[in-house]
Structure 1
Amino acid sequence: MSFLRIEQEGPLVVLTLNAPERRNAISSFADCEEVEAACRRIARDATVRCVIVTGADPAFCAGGDLKAMRDRTGIMAAEGPADMRENYRNGIQRIPLALWELDVPTVAAINGPAIGAGLDLACMCDIRIASEKAVFAESFVRVGIVPGDGGAWLLPRAVGLSRAAEMSFTGDPLNAQEGLEARLVSRVVPHGELMEAARALASRITRNPPTVLRMTKRLLREGQHMSLASLLEMSAAYQAIAQETEDHREAVDAMLSKREPRFTGR
C-alpha cells in the first residue's frame, strides 16, 4: 500500500499520510520518495492552487519509526556515521526541500499527534489548523537525537526562538489549545470538522488567480531572509508580470462589474 494517498479535487490536492498502523511514521526511503514525487507533480501542474496535508486517523504523523531506529532498518540502516549522514540527506531531508519550496499554498490539517518529524512536517506548510485531538512535540531529545529534518530552522519560524528552544530542549508536548496559544496553529476545530474546515479554507484560497498565488507565496518565503530593498526589487518584478496577465484584467473587471471572476491562470 502506498504511504501517501493523493486526491485531486479540481484545483485542490489532498495529500494524506496513509500508514495508520504505524501512526503515519516516516520509515523508509520509499516514503520520502512518494512525498517528494507528489510535490514535483504538483509543482508542474499549473491547475493546482492549494494543497492540504493530513494524516489517516488516529495520528497526523508520529515522526520517525522508533522500531526502525532500534533495529537499524529502513532509513536507519547504516554502517557508521558517514552512512547515516547520507541516509538523512537522501531520505527524510528530501521532504522539507520539496514541501517547503513548493510554490503552491499548503495547509496542514493536523488531525492527531504531530511528533518529532511529524511536527516539522506540519511546520513545512504555510497554514496549520488543528483538531482538538492534536498533540505537538519536538521530541527528538527524548530519544537521544537532534532534529534531523530541518526542525531547528522550521520551528523557530513558527513559534519564535524562545518557545522553539523550550520545546526542543524539553521535548514536552503541547495539546491543541497550547499549540493555538503558541501560534503554532491558526485555529483549533472539533475533530469531526477538521477536513471540512481545511477544505473551506482551501476553497477561499483556490478562488484566486493561480499564478499570483504562487508568486505571493514565493515573496512570503523569500521575505524571511532577504533585505527589504531586495524584496522590493523582487516584488516590483513580480508585479510587472502580474499586471500583464489576463487574470489581473479579469479580476479588476469583475470587481468593477460586481460579479464573480473567472480565472484561467493566464
Structure 2
Amino acid sequence: MSLRITFLTAGRILRQLLNDRRTVVLILAVPSLMIALISAIMDAAPQAFDTVGLILLAFFPFMMMFMITSITLLRERTGGTLERLMTTPTGKLDLVCGYAIAFGAAAAAQTAIAAAVAYLFLGLDTAGPAWAVFLIAIVASLFGMALGLFVSAFATTEFQAIQFMPVFVVPQLLLCGLIWPRDQMAGWLQGVSDALPVTYAVKALTEVQTHPDVTAAMWGNLAVVAAAVLVATALGAATLRRRTN
C-alpha cells in the first residue's frame, strides 16, 4: 500500500463526485430535506422526532453511500477503469482506502449539514454530545460504502445495483427499531435484527439520546459496526481483480 497512490485515488474519486452536480446535491441536500419533512410531519410530537430524526441522521449516510459506491464502482468495473488500474502499481488496499477516504469525506459533509439543520433549525435534542452522533453516522456511512463496494461485483447494470437495496438496505431499515420497537417483534425477527450492523448503530444512538455522557455501551455498539465495516471492506477488496490475463 502506498499513501501517495491512496490519496491520488481519493482525489480522483472526489473530483468525479464534484464534477457531477446532481450527485453533489443528492449527497448534501436530500438528507436534510428528508429530515426536515419528517420534522414537519411530527410537529405535534417533538419527542418522537428526537428519536426518528436521530436515527435518520445515521441511516441516510449509510443508504446513500451504499447507492453511490455501488454505482460508482460498477461504472469503473464495466468501463474498464478498474481493470486498467489493476495493471498499474495501484494495489487493492490503495483502491479500497482511497474510496473510503473519498466517500468518508462526502459522508462527513453530508452528516455535518444534516446534523446542523436538525440541531439548529429543527429542534433535535439529545442528552449526549452531538459529536458522538456525528461519529456514529460516519461509521455507518463507511459500512454503507464497504457494502456497496462488495455488492458492485454482482451487478452488471446500474439498475441491478439499485435492485440490491431491498436486499441489503431495506431490511436494516425495517428491523433496526425505527419502524417498530425491536422488543415487540417476533423472536426470529429479533434474531435477524441482532445480525444486522445498522441495529447496533441505532443502539449507539439511543445511548447518546438518553445519557449525557458517552457510555461504554455506546462504544461497544459502535465497535460492532466498525467490525462490520472491516469485514465488508475485506469482502469488497476480494472482488477487486483483473478479469483478463
- Choose between structure 1 and 2 for higher RCO, CA contacts under 8 A separated by at least 6 residues: 2
Hey, which of these two has a bigger chunk of helix by percent?
A: 2
TM-score normalized by the length of structure 1: 0.28
TM-score normalized by the length of structure 2: 0.29
Hey, which of these two has a bigger chunk of strand by percent?
A: 1
